[in-house]
Chains A and B, each alone.
Chain A
Amino acid sequence: MFELSVARKYLTPRWRQLSVSIISLISILVIALVVWLIVVFFSVTNGLEKGWVQKLTTLTAPVRITPNENYYNSYYYLVDGISQDSNYAQKSIREKLQSLNTDPYDESMDETFPSFFPQPVLNSDGSLKDLVKQAYFEIEHLNQDSEIRNRLKSDQIIVDDFEVTTSQLRVKLIRNINNTPMISSVTQATYLGSFNKENQTLEKTMIPFSMEDLQNLVRTHNLKNQKLDELPLTSKKFQKDLQQFLSKASNQDLKKLDFLNILGNNHGQADAVFLPKTFRDAGVLVGDKTEISYYTPTMSAVQEQKIPTFVAGFYDPGLIPLGGKFILTAPEIVSLVRTSQAQEQTPNSNGINVRFDNLDNADLVKAKIQAAFNKAGIAPFFKIETYKEFEFTKDILQQLQSDKTLFTLISTIIIIVACSNIISMLIIMVNDKKVEIGILRSMGTSSFSIATIFGLCGVVMGATGSAIGTFAAYFTLKNLKILIDFLSTLQGHNAFNPMFYGDTLPNEISFEAMFFVIFSTALISTIAGIVPAVKASMLHPSAILRAE
């Protein structure tokens, strides 16, 4: 292409046009710098947001369904309280799901309904509508929905119940200091949540075992019986291999569960607890013995109950306000603690988690569930929320979105300023190439071709700057740790607080950011090239050649 070949000639640095070459180079470098900054910033913030959202949904789910006031005031829920078949106790979602009898009330055995007792919601055949089983059925049935299948692809919707209650956690720390065993303890009021192996996001937030964890495991779990003491524990290679194995194992549910079972068996059938990483910062290690204690009202007094457990691992709860106090353990334990406590004194929670990998589909899944619940007539009993609407995540996510929008605006302005440099550079170039423009015009080059040549110069400069900036950003992200370590050394403390940003900053290039800068740079460079291009095309060849 004629125009491109001439533009390439004009952009090739030459001694004779040193000033133009230097200005061109500076323009390209400014664009590259801006592109680099934007791609790195967006990649890190996008990665952080992704990580935060992933952690937020670790303790929750992309979509969560909680029974509302209508549910708790319904015949379906209250009937267990007056039925002998239900031991006169209300049932959790899990118990309702597992119950074989939807309506446990037996007229001959149970007391008469009080006058204020609500009316049952019945199916068309006159039987009591089983709200929980119906809800599970409707959600699981969504896996057959063609739109959901298309959007989720191989991903499946997984449904499980969740329970949250409160308890005290006591961790016994047995440490060998100068070969003398020292015992201390950490006690913390905690929220107790159920660890569910179906929770795929949880495994992604698990923190790899450290060497101290491994040594503590060997010490506290009597692994000597398994002849592990014969293993070269002091060998660095062995430690590395074992660490790798355990970190991989913790990312694979089945392996992890097998591993925990081994630990559990070695620990006299104690149950495992997973603690948020704040406990680790407090000196707790994997393998430490723990107790979950709670208070049960009896006929005469309130008694403390204790469940022996052990620390099976740590997870990163992200930015959830209660994340630092949220411990995970077997669903049976949570259910036991929850139902054993005086219900009116503890902030308990019970509901249904709807899990799937791709969070982008949360709104679609919510809408589908809402529609299915409406159709099934159970919508008035449940509140359906996506992770964006959870009370404790809403503010953080909104803030993240606002920050991104703000930076996008600032980025656009920075790119405009950087690209506007092209205008001045190209105007200098047009003045410098006036005679050549006249000569080319005399040989039959059209005004449009002349405009195209200088427009292309702008686009090529923008594109070159973008390419250099993107490459530099990729290189920076690949070596982000070195950069952060350097910044931390300069400052004398962590450049980025691990509490907020995690132990390592995300270093995957954001294609969204890359497309944004490449597209906007190309667009703005083209616009910037228009003014000089029009100026060049308007030059009158006779005037130029006469002047020469």
Chain B
Amino acid sequence: MAKAVLQAKNIIKSFYYPTKISILDNLELTVQRGETVAIKGRSGEGKSTLLQILGTLDTPCSGQLNILDKSVTFFNKSKIRNNSLGFIFQSFHLLDDYTALENVLMPAKIGRKSIALKSEAYKRALELLDAVGLKDRAHFSTKLLSGGEKQRVSIARALCNDPAIILADEPSGNLDKETASVIHDLLIRFAKEHNKSLIVVTHDDNLANLTDTIYHLNNGKLTK
């Protein structure tokens, strides 16, 4: 029996200005290890907010979030993000002053792991860049990369610390159709090959159709 890596129970999120707007209403979600999940919904429905809550970047008004059987608290958020979660953003969010390799190594560096030339993290980063087809771009400044290349670096970076869960927010939103297709395949293949759970927020049916489970966010609740 597959083990749940993420459990969200009774998640409520509301915004109070100028008037109260309820975004998530007693939302429940369980994701198993290796399961790929797509969350779809209309714009403004709260998909990104949900993803940020699941990624501990935002805090729900109430509810319980467990990641790898650990309850998320104020004190262990950073550690959970570093060890167990990998983010892929629509706008890539790479660090401009660093090379592609340095970007991929950044989570390891934050986790105080050795990133020396022959270290495990360094080897893994190069392997990941190789896997996304960017080994020859490893020492390029990210400013010099195309959108598709940036997103591939972003995928490699998300996997650097070997997290259990990858969270992707519209990963192909800024890419052309062909490149988007390549990114979709890469993302799903990586998740499957590395036995990672993937939660992806998307409007793209092609991507959603590649996942194991598709959820719809409607009126603050998830439905299959």
A residues sitting closer than 8 Å to B (CB atoms) are 2, 5, 9, 14, 16, 435-436, 438-447, 449, 540-542, 545-546, 548
- Contacts A2-B112, A443-B106, A444-B79 hold; do A548 and B93 have CB atoms under 8 A apart? yes
- List the count of A-B residue pairs having beta carbons below 8 Å apart: 65
Cα(A65)–Cα(B211), bound, Å: 99
Of the A-B pairs whose beta carbons lie under 8 Å apart in the complex, a sample of 6, sorted by A's number, is A9-B97, A440-B95, A443-B110, A443-B157, A444-B161, A446-B78
Say yes or no: B78 contacts A545, CB within 8 Å: no
One digit per residue, 1 when the CB lies within 8 angstroms of any chain A CB and 0 when it does not, for chain B 84-100 equals 01010101011111100
- Contacts A542-B58, A545-B57 hold; do A445 and B110 have CB atoms under 8 A apart? yes
Q: Per a CB cutoff under 8 Å, which of B80, B83, B97 touches A14? A: B97
In the complex, whether B55 has a CB less than 8 A from a CB of chain A is yes
Contacts of B78 in A (CB 8 A): 441, 444-447, 449
Contacts of A442 in B (CB 8 A): 55, 57, 81, 87, 89, 93
A430 to chain B, nearest CB (A): 16
Contacts of B85 in A (CB 8 A): 444
- Contacts A444-B82, A444-B83 hold; do A436 and B58 have CB atoms under 8 A apart? no
B181 to chain A, nearest CB (A): 25
Residue of A nearest to B52 (CB): A542
Say yes or no: B111 contacts A444, CB within 8 Å: yes
Q: Per a CB cutoff under 8 Å, which of B87, B97, B98, B112 touches A443? A: B87
In the complex, whether B48 has a CB less than 8 A from a CB of chain A is yes
A37 to chain B, nearest CB (A): 35
Contacts of A449 in B (CB 8 A): 78, 110
Contacts of A540 in B (CB 8 A): 58
Say yes or no: A444 contacts B89, CB within 8 Å: no
Contacts of B79 in A (CB 8 A): 444
Contacts of A542 in B (CB 8 A): 49, 52, 57-58
B138 to chain A, nearest CB (A): 18
Residue of A nearest to B106 (CB): A443
B84 to chain A, nearest CB (A): 9
Tell me the B149-188 residues at the A interface (CB within 8 Å). Answer: 157, 161
Please give me the 6 A-B residue pairs with the lowest Cβ-Cβ distance, nearest first: A444-B82, A542-B58, A446-B78, A444-B81, A542-B57, A542-B52
Contacts of A16 in B (CB 8 A): 96
A442 to chain B, nearest CB (A): 5
Tell me the B32-86 residues at the A interface (CB within 8 Å). Answer: 48-49, 52, 55, 57-58, 78-83, 85
- Contacts A2-B110, A443-B82, A444-B82 hold; do A546 and B93 have CB atoms under 8 A apart? no
Contacts of B95 in A (CB 8 A): 436, 439-440
B211 to chain A, nearest CB (A): 22
Interface centre among A5, A443, A449, A545 (most CB of B within 10 A): A443
A309 to chain B, nearest CB (A): 79
Q: Per a CB cutoff under 8 Å, which of A2, A438, A445 touches B93? A: A438
Cα(A425)–Cα(B111), bound, Å: 29
Interface centre among B80, B83, B93, B95 (most CB of A within 10 A): B93
In the complex, whether B148 has a CB less than 8 A from a CB of chain A is no
- Contacts A442-B81, A442-B93, A444-B82 hold; do A546 and B107 have CB atoms under 8 A apart? no
A454 to chain B, nearest CB (A): 16
Contacts of A440 in B (CB 8 A): 95, 106, 110
Cα(A322)–Cα(B95), bound, Å: 73
In the complex, whether B109 has a CB less than 8 A from a CB of chain A is yes
Contacts of B157 in A (CB 8 A): 443
Cα(A548)–Cα(B174), bound, Å: 13
Sample of 12 further A-B pairs with CB below 8 A, known A14-B97, A443-B107, A444-B110: A9-B97, A439-B95, A440-B110, A442-B93, A443-B81, A444-B111, A445-B82, A540-B58, A542-B52, A542-B58, A546-B52, A548-B93
Say yes or no: A541 contacts B57, CB within 8 Å: yes
Contacts of A443 in B (CB 8 A): 81-82, 87, 106-107, 110, 157
Say yes or no: A435 contacts B48, CB within 8 Å: no
Say yes or no: B57 contacts A441, CB within 8 Å: yes
Say yes or no: A548 contacts B91, CB within 8 Å: yes
Cα(A436)–Cα(B93), bound, Å: 8
Cα(A545)–Cα(B49), bound, Å: 11
Interface centre among A16, A447, A449, A545 (most CB of B within 10 A): A545
Say yes or no: B107 contacts A545, CB within 8 Å: no
Q: Per a CB cutoff under 8 Å, which of B48, B93, B112 touches A439? A: B93
Residue of A nearest to B157 (CB): A443
Residue of A nearest to B58 (CB): A542
Contacts of B49 in A (CB 8 A): 542
Cα(A446)–Cα(B74), bound, Å: 10
Residue of B nearest to A441 (CB): B57
Residue of B nearest to A439 (CB): B93
A44 to chain B, nearest CB (A): 44
Residue of A nearest to B55 (CB): A442
Residue of B nearest to A12 (CB): B97
Cα(A548)–Cα(B57), bound, Å: 14
Cα(A440)–Cα(B94), bound, Å: 10
A22 to chain B, nearest CB (A): 18
Interface centre among A5, A436, A542, A546 (most CB of B within 10 A): A542
Contacts of B109 in A (CB 8 A): 2, 5
B170 to chain A, nearest CB (A): 12
Say yes or no: B89 contacts A545, CB within 8 Å: yes
Contacts of A2 in B (CB 8 A): 109-110, 112
B203 to chain A, nearest CB (A): 17
Interface centre among B48, B87, B97 (most CB of A within 10 A): B97
Contacts of A548 in B (CB 8 A): 91, 93
Cα(A548)–Cα(B92), bound, Å: 10
Residue of B nearest to A5 (CB): B109
One digit per residue, 1 when the CB lies within 8 angstroms of any chain A CB and 0 when it does not, for chain B 104-143 equals 0011011110000000000000000000000000000000
Cα(A405)–Cα(B81), bound, Å: 53
Residue of A nearest to B89 (CB): A545
Cα(A540)–Cα(B81), bound, Å: 14
Residue of B nearest to A436 (CB): B95
Say yes or no: A435 contacts B97, CB within 8 Å: no
Interface centre among A5, A441, A444, A446 (most CB of B within 10 A): A444
Contacts of B110 in A (CB 8 A): 2, 440, 443-445, 449
A303 to chain B, nearest CB (A): 95
Contacts of A447 in B (CB 8 A): 78
